[in-house]
Amino acid sequence: MLTSAAMLVTLAAGASGQEAPATVADPARGLGEWEKIHAVFSHPRCANCHVEDEHPRWSGPEFPVARHHGFNVGRGADGSGFGNAGQRCTTCHFDSNSSALHGPPGVEGWHLAPAEMVWWQKSSAEICAQIKDPERNGGRTLEEVATHVRDDKLVAWGWAPGPGREVAPGSAQETYEAIRNWSAAGAPCPGG
Ligand code: HEC
Ligand code: HEC
């Protein structure tokens, strides 16, 4: 983590010719990076929380069960993603994974992503457009999307999901780098 003093030095160094790589449109390279990002975002460990309707999903190769979350769990009448009264996510999802097979997974602050951040059953092109749209990605630049993936605890869970669950491909750091490389290549989306 850079201190603000270090950041100033970095910015000053940029002025003397050491700035971050400029964006150079390179669709072939960019789409190759996007494929890596898509493999992660569309994976059940991520997409199960990125849904547009009321219900988190239970799905994936290690989930031979109904697709909607059990117990009729919903995002919550207040729209918060933390669940309905009496069925808050944190009633069952604690700060760490249950060690029991099919026990509730957990990290601090477990809740559903806002409905506009939907990836579940969306095409690669649709997910790509969502990630780039500040109206639907929480007002983030692509650099901020990348650092969210590198630093967020809910995201990190996708690579440490508890017993019996397939982990997301690659790692948080590799996905962070893929997002930055994709952005530097002009952030192309498939099909256009
Ligand atoms: C437990 C539920 C949960 C899981 C699992 C989860 N997310 Fe999220 N995700 C959220 C919530 C909640 C937000 C909104 C946070 C915010 O805007 O500050 C979010 C927002 C995001 C965002 C920023 C908004 C956007 O759409 O660009 C990215 C990127 C993201 N998640 C990536 C991932 C990735 C990658 C994985 C899997 C490795 C993952 N998430 C798994 C709940 C989850
Ligand atoms: C009554 C207890 C309970 C409540 C309340 C609950 N969950 Fe769960 N949840 C579970 C259990 C148990 C599992 C694990 C199921 C399994 O492994 O077969 C689970 C699994 C999940 C999964 C699947 C993770 C994966 O990819 O493997 C997601 C996503 C999820 N819950 C989200 C939520 C969200 C979001 C809320 C609140 C809106 C919530 N849950 C509320 C018990 C609960």
Distance (Å, whole) CA 161 – CA 59: 13
Domain ranges of the chain: 27-184
Query: pLDDT below 50 — which residues of the chain?
Result: 1-3, 5-19, 64
Q: Is 58 in the pocket of ligand 1 (CB under 6 A)?
A: no
pLDDT tens for 45-62 read 999 999 998 889 887 765
Distance (Å, whole) CA 174 – CA 11: 25
Name the one residue in this structure whose structure tokens are 């003397």.
Answer: 16
pTM, entire model? 0.91
Q: Tell me what pLDDT residue 8 has.
A: 45
Distance (Å, whole) CA 24 – CA 184: 6
CB-based pocket (< 6 A), ligand 2: 44-45, 48-49, 56, 58, 65, 69, 71, 73, 75, 83, 87, 89, 91-93, 102-105, 111-112, 161, 165
Main-chain phi, psi angles of 57, to 5 degrees: -110, 150
- Amino acid making up residue 141: T
pLDDT tens for 77-89 read 998 999 999 999 9
Write the residue with the smallest CA distance to atom 13 of ligand 1: 113
